[in-house]
Amino acid sequence: MAAQPVPQETHQPIGSEGRHRVVVIGSGFGGLFGTKALRRSDVEVTLIAKTTHHLFQPLLYQVATGILSQGEIAPSTREILAGQDNAQVLLGEVTDIDLDARTVTSKVLGRETTTPYDSLIVAAGAGQSYFGNDHFSEFAPGMKSIDDALELRGRIFGAFELAEIGAQRGENVDHLLTFVVVGAGPTGVEMAGQIAELSHRTLKKDFRAINTRHARVILVDAAPQVLPPFGQKLGAKAKSELEKLGVEVILGAMVTDVDERGIEMKFKDGRVERIESVAKIWAAGVQANPLGKTLSEQSGAPLDRAGRIAVNPDLTLPGHPEVFVVGDMIALDNLPGVAQVAIQGAKYAGKEIDNRIKGKASQGPFHYFDKGSMAIISRFRAVALIGKLRLTGVVAWLMWLALHLVYITGFKSRVTALLHWAVSFIGRGRSERTTTEQQIFARSALSRLKGGAADLVSDPGAYDAARAMLETTRRAELEAQAAEEARLTDSGERGVPVEQRVG
Ligand SMILES: Cc1cc2nc3c(=O)[nH]c(=O)nc-3n(C[C@H](O)[C@H](O)[C@H](O)COP(=O)(O)OP(=O)(O)OC[C@H]3O[C@@H](n4cnc5c(N)ncnc54)[C@H](O)[C@@H]3O)c2cc1C
């Protein structure tokens, strides 16, 4: 069958006649703060993002380990911007940017939209890097999205469930009770600390056949220390705190293979070791969004090894003063990939656009103000680096708590997050332990479809009678299946071997 042409539509911001059109790509820290920075400007902003929510990535590990719900860290972008009259939200994955035509092309479920702009803010962030071994991702999901966090939640809690079944049958379940976190940066440290708390504290009374306190939590990194950006002293402190929690820290080990049942690593002396583990988490390395490559090819701006694009000191793309790039996508003065770089850069870009419209002078080059970094290790334990000040223990943990509470978007989410933290940190519970089979397997299932989720919906526009007939047949099959399921339940035949059933 000949491929159907993708239906296209041009998006004109409502009320845009004559007004300066700003397109913002991404609804993360850069995209949201860039849009908000323009709330009082005489512009029409269209924020295009591939998800309907704004994601607070630093708390993803808490969703993965059952402390917070996804809603608390991922509020609806539309709801956040509902009160900003000059902003509208367009759902879609940006597939192309045409710098000459000044248009952005986005796609959702086979529907393609082209949006023209006068100014553009690109804040599409970064993804996980498997250092050229993308196939590792099938067995060791990264942690970049709500989907990732929910899948990991399913895999972690699911491993304990499978271990319980195996142990009841007298099987060896060590591989199910071994959790490996790859990458000893803040995310890896936080994740390892939380899995250790889960197994040693939260779940200790919930199972009968297994002792969750015997679970192994292993943190692996090729670097010689934990939390390299925090310096040696804080890194050593974080390592010893993790070890007190029962985490095994393996440093100087490069992961060379990952499969369904385990992970293989190679040490500097050539030794190769394999760890049998079903639940593995990848928290090592980032790769800037591929839109950086699109911009690089058209502007000639170079990319670094992590795919980040070199921008001018005012965050504009070389040769394109109307295009700003902010956040995790940029290579400028060795700025780190942290939330504050994205927030401050986006505010700067918004102000710069506003200045131009008002005929005001430029602010000059962008200057990043480093407010410090912190990582939580377990309840009441964190490390923080603020300027030359190094903080550890409860003080750092309280600072972490206060800061994250300020940055969580929305009053509702702040209140519920606080409640869930009380449940987890003062008590030993986890409020968000729900997991489903689909959470764990949907990613792999979707990746097997050629066109992804678009294969599961009807084409936009044209009506395909042949396809509709196939769908009707499938529907009839599903209905018959459902009727048979209901009959089995009603007649009490469920669980009875087929040959013993009546009728
Ligand atoms: C697990 C984790 C923990 C972290 N912890 C911390 C921390 O403790 N402190 C800290 O400062 N930083 C932390 N960071 C880093 C911080 O979250 C990032 O630096 C920050 O989010 C970067 O903001 P951004 O706007 O550049 O990208 P993002 O916040 O990643 O936003 C990118 C946006 O672009 C959208 N997008 C991507 N591609 C497309 C496309 N093709 N079309 C349309 N939309 C697209 C995405 O859906 C998203 O909305 C953490 C990151 C992770 C992953």
Give the pLDDT band (50/70/90) at residue 427: confident
Q: Is the CB of 53 under 6 A from ligand 1?
A: no
Q: Atom 37 of ligand 1 has which residue's CA nearest to it?
A: 124
Q: How far apart are CA 354 and CA 443, in angstroms?
A: 41
Selection from 275, 284, 142, 264 nearest residue 217 by Cα = 275
* Contact predicate 191/281, CB 8 Å: yes
Query: How many other C-beta atoms can be found within 10 angstroms of the C-beta atom of residue 222?
Result: 20
- Which amino acid is it at 69? S
134-284+379-447 shares the fold of 8-50+92-129+287-358:
yes
* Contact predicate 265/255, CB 8 Å: yes
pTM as predicted: 0.89
pLDDT tens by residue, 86-113: 999 999 999 999 999 999 999 999 899 9
From the alpha carbon of 338, which atom of ligand 1 is closest? 19
pLDDT at 493: 80
Please tell me which residue in 72, 151, 164, 190 is annotated as part of the active site. 190
* Contact predicate 217/181, CB 8 Å: yes
pLDDT at 1: 40
Q: Is the CB of 29 under 6 A from ligand 1?
A: yes
Mean of pLDDT values over 131-145? 94
pLDDT over 90 (residue 485): no
Q: Atom 4 of ligand 1 has which residue's CA nearest to it?
A: 58
Using DSSP's 3-state secondary structure scheme, residue 281 falls into strand
pLDDT at 257: 97
> What does the domain layout of the chain look like in residue ranges?
8-50+92-129+287-358, 134-284+379-447
pLDDT at 487: 87
pLDDT at 411: 83
Give the pLDDT band (50/70/90) at residue 2: very low
Lowest mean pLDDT among 96-100, 330-334, 355-359, 466-470: 466-470
pLDDT over 70 (residue 461): no
Instruction: Specify which residues 381 forms β-bridges with.
Output: 378
pLDDT over 70 (residue 467): no
Q: How far apart are CA 329 and CA 291, in angstroms?
A: 9
Give the pLDDT band (50/70/90) at residue 8: low
477 catalytic residue (yes or no): no
- Pick the residue with more confidence: 4 or 434? 434
* Contact predicate 48/23, CB 8 Å: yes
Mean of pLDDT values over 328-344? 96
Lowest mean pLDDT among 30-39, 179-188, 300-309, 417-426: 417-426
109: CB partners within 8 A, 6+ apart: 453, 454, 457, 460
Q: Atom 12 of ligand 1 has which residue's CA nearest to it?
A: 338
Core vs surface per residue 318-348: b (16+ CB within 10 A) or e: bebeebbbbbbbbbbeebebbbbbbbbbbbb
Mean of pLDDT values over 256-277? 96
From the alpha carbon of 337, which atom of ligand 1 is closest? 19
User: 134-284+379-447 — its CATH code?
Assistant: 3.50.50.100
339: CB partners within 8 A, 6+ apart: 29, 57, 58, 407
Give the pLDDT band (50/70/90) at residue 501: low
Q: Which of 338, 397, 400 to mutate to test the pocket of ligand 1 (most atoms within 8 A of CB)?
A: 338
CA-based torsion, 131, 134, 136, 140: positive or negative: positive
Q: Which two structure tokens, joined as six digits, stand for 381? A: 């334990």
Instruction: Please tell me which of 109-113, 158-162, 483-487 the model is most confident about, judged by mean pLDDT.
Output: 158-162
Mean of pLDDT values over 320-342? 97
Q: What is the dihedral of CA 247, 249, 253, 259, to 10 degrees?
A: 0
Mean of pLDDT values over 226-241? 93
Instruction: Give, in order, the Cα–Cα distances in Å from 182 to each of 144, 192, 265, 270, 284.
Output: 14, 9, 10, 19, 6
Q: How far apart are CA 234 and CA 116, in angstroms?
A: 48
Q: Which two structure tokens, joined as six digits, stand for 445? A: 């299932």
pLDDT over 50 (residue 412): yes
Q: How far apart are CA 351 and CA 307, in angstroms?
A: 27
Q: How far apart are CA 293 and CA 453, in angstroms?
A: 25
Selection from 154, 430, 66 nearest residue 162 by Cα = 154
Q: Which of 23, 27, 57, 68 to mutate to test the pocket of ligand 1 (most atoms within 8 A of CB)?
A: 57
pLDDT over 80 (residue 500): no
Q: How far apart are CA 260 and CA 137, in angstroms?
A: 11
Mean of pLDDT values over 77-82? 97
Q: Which two structure tokens, joined as six digits, stand for 405? A: 């509470």
DSSP codes, 244-260: HTTEEEEESEEEEEEET
Q: Is the CB of 105 under 6 A from ligand 1?
A: no
Q: How far apart are CA 272 and CA 53, in angstroms?
A: 42
Mean of pLDDT values over 276-284? 97
Q: Atom 50 of ligand 1 has which residue's CA nearest to it?
A: 58
Pairing of β 87-91 and β 247-251: unpaired
pLDDT at 58: 94
Selection from 407, 252, 235 nearest residue 338 by Cα = 407
Q: Which two structure tokens, joined as six digits, stand for 43? A: 């512009």
Question: What is the distance, to the nearest Å, from the Cα of residue 400 to the centroid of all Cα atoms in its chain?
Answer: 20
CATH architecture of 8-50+92-129+287-358: 3-Layer(bba) Sandwich (3.50)
Q: How much of the chain exceeds pLDDT 70, in percent? A: 94
pLDDT tens by residue, 20-60: 999 999 999 999 999 999 999 999 999 999 999 999 999 99
pLDDT over 60 (residue 62): yes
Mean of pLDDT values over 306-315? 98
Count Cβ atoms within 10 A of the Cβ of residue 407 and give its class: 0-12 exposed, 13-18 middle, 19 or more buried: middle
Q: Is the CB of 94 under 6 A from ligand 1?
A: yes
